[in-house]
Structure 1
Amino acid sequence: MSTIDLDLKVKFLHGFSHRVRIQILDCIKHEEKAVSQIVKEIEGNQSNISQHLACLKGCGLIVGRQEGKYVYYSLSNQKVRDLLTMFEDVLVDIQTDVSCCENHIS
């Protein structure tokens, strides 16, 4: 049995549970970017993306680095990058089942 609390696992996975947060993670998967770059790339609005960045940062999935008046965001470590890649690898194998799932809760 895992020594990590179930509620802590749920909080961690919450970081991956929103479309905008996944877009942000994909956007910064290979290089750090300023908020304005992220907003432009995912075609979102600054306020909404800032809220999701705060969630991702609070979950420990990303880090921010201040440079002058800009904040640059990147994944917090290689394990997060590996996890995102693993999600994609698993999804390739089960994408038909996922797309047909009628039990998805929005």
Structure 2
Amino acid sequence: METIALDTKVKFLRGFSDKTRIQILEALLDGEKTVSQITEKISGNQSNISQHLACLKGCGIITGRQEGRYSLYRIRNDQIRELLMMFNTVLADIENDVERCGVQIEE
């Protein structure tokens, strides 16, 4: 198995470390969406959503493509989709511990 640099792992995990980015990813679980569709689904600010999409794309978590004047975004691959689903599986077991964790959530 190839060893991935620790800094690369940390950068990748930071892509998941924001409430808005998790909302975006959950919105994309059921398929490709435009910025407007994502904004509507999570009741967000379009400019803010666009910044988070750029972060997720830069981290390789999502991909984007142009279709006419629209940018469409989707989860990059099945492995990332499975990782997102695995979060729910793991958290179902440890949710109470995580809620008591002293780590601050940035809003």
* Partner of residue 89, structure 1: 89
Q: What are structure 1's unaligned runs of at least 5 residues?
A: none
**Distance change >3 Å, CA 2–CA 99, structure 1 → 2:** farther
Aligned positions of 1:61-100 closer than 5 A = 61-100=61-100
* Alpha-carbon displacement from aligned partner over 1:63-103 (angstroms, at most 9, x marks no partner): 011110001100000000000000110000000111122x2
Q: State the match for 1:105 in structure 2.
A: 104
- Match of 1:43? 43
Q: 1:4 to 1:23 in 2, by over 3 A?
A: same
Quote the sequence identity (%).
Answer: 60
What is the TM-score normalised by the length of structure 2?
0.94
> Alpha-carbon deviation of 1:30?
1.8
Q: Which amino acid aligns with 1:4?
A: I
Aligned residues: CA RMSD: 1.3
Work out which structure has the larger RCO, using CA pairs closer than 8 Å and 6 or more positions apart in sequence: 2
Q: For 1:47 and 1:65, how far apart are their aligned partners in 2?
A: 18
Unaligned runs of 5+ in 2: none
SS of residue matched to 1:71 = strand
- Partner Cα separation in structure 2 for residue 43 and residue 30 of structure 1: 17
Q: Is 2:55 aligned against 1:55?
A: yes
Q: What's the TM-score, normalizing by structure 1?
A: 0.95
- In 2, Cα distance between equivalents of 1:4 and 1:105: 27
1:2 Cα deviation from its structure 2 partner: 6.7
Equivalent-residue separation in structure 2 for 1:49 and 1:100 (angstroms): 29
Shift of the alpha carbon at 1:105? 2.9
